[in-house]
Amino acid sequence: MILQRRNRILRQSPAIRAMVAETLVKPSDFIAPLFIDEGQNTATEIASMPGYYRRSVDLTVKEVKELWSMGIRCVLLFIKCKDELKDNTGKEAWNRNGLMQRSIRAIKDAVPEMVVMTDVALDPYSSYGHDGIVKNNEILNDETVEALVKMSISHAQAGADFVAPSDMMDGRIGAIRNGLEEENFTKTGIMSYSAKYASCFYGPFRDALDSAPGFGDKKTYQMDPANRLEAVKETMIDVEEGADIVMVKPAMAYLDIIREIKNSVEVPVSAYQVSGEYAMIKAAAKMGWLNEEKAIIECLTSIKRAGADLVATYFAKDAVKLMN
């Protein structure tokens, strides 16, 4: 054959492939989610997330030091609230001495440069397991937003660098921004879970925090997986309201949305490779059905290629080890 174009020329050796690789995943791209529990010196493996742990504050601090030493620059905190502290108002969420607030302080004391993000949503604190205040089986928007503002301010007071509202109530980004301004937290950022879908892939996470909804589902606030334009609308509104970073969640089943958002807004875009995505790879690897290490790198590279600047992933540590 006489060919004008031989595309395989650029694939013939590792050196050439490295030269022309369009996407590079690096440790500072990662946001490492951490699950925190009461107690001392405890680490509990999450049944549906093999290899991932819920830790007491002291061991969380140790983990953060290790993450920092590996080049990971950001953690995203979630806490497991004791049952007796849960109620419909979620008021434990803004307790100055709550588990979240104590964790933020402990981490910032130990590793001040680590960027600490905190999940802002009522579900771990709600006796109904919903992200908002419930009345007559409905999730109230405006009352919930007031609670989220108090929660955000209390995280900022404890030292959080970014608050990350994951609840999908309307108007919460603007309200949180105003609340932070009024309290003079002019350096606290907002990473909005702006396009968050009502997804089955959150299942293992709800096991980790004991936060499954007690009735119904989250479809009146999280988005319908069928929708694309709605993701753009949600995200643009969050940017207008003052989001510093936006997010698409989950990642793998929504790569088209990540690209759409990347092309639509001028702020950094993050994507969340969620608990179910982690569990799928772990389960298939355990069965010997795919190579875990290759799957991790391929998925993270694909999420970045789709347009994510940052990736929240339970594989952050594994990925850094594999990259070295």
For ligand PBG, give the closer residue by CB, 49 or 64.
49
State the minimum distance, in angstroms, from the CB of residue 270 to ligand PBG.
12
Residue with CB nearest ligand PBG? 205
| Residues marked as catalytic | 196, 249
Q: What is the 3-state secondary structure (H, E, C) of the chain?
A: CCCCCCHHHHHCCHHHHHHHCCCCCCHHHEEEEEEEECCCCCEEEECCEEEEEEEEHHHHHHHHHHHHHCCCCEEEEEECCCHHHCECCCHHHHCCCCHHHHHHHHHHHHCCCCEEEEEECCHHHECCCCCCEEECCEEEHHHHHHHHHHHHHHHHHHCCCEEEECCCCCCHHHHHHHHHHHCCCCCCEEEEEEEEECCHHHHHHHHHHCCCCCCCCCCCCCECCCCCHHHHHHHHHHHHHCCCEEEEECCHHHHHHHHHHHHHCCCCEEEEECHHHHHHHHHHHHCCCCCHHHHHHHHHHHHHHHCCCEEEECCHHHHHHHHC
For ligand PBG, give the closer residue by CB, 92 or 131.
131
State the minimum distance, in angstroms, from the CB of residue 163 to ligand PBG.
12
Rounded (5°) CA angle 309-198-31: 30
For ligand PBG, give the closer residue by CB, 113 or 224.
224
For ligand PBG, give the closer residue by CB, 119 or 234.
119
For ligand PBG, give the closer residue by CB, 34 or 106.
34
State the minimum distance, in angstroms, from the CB of residue 167 to ligand PBG.
6
State the minimum distance, in angstroms, from the CB of residue 38 to ligand PBG.
19
Interaction site with ligand PBG (CB under 6 A): 119, 121, 123, 131, 166-167, 202, 205-206, 218, 274-275
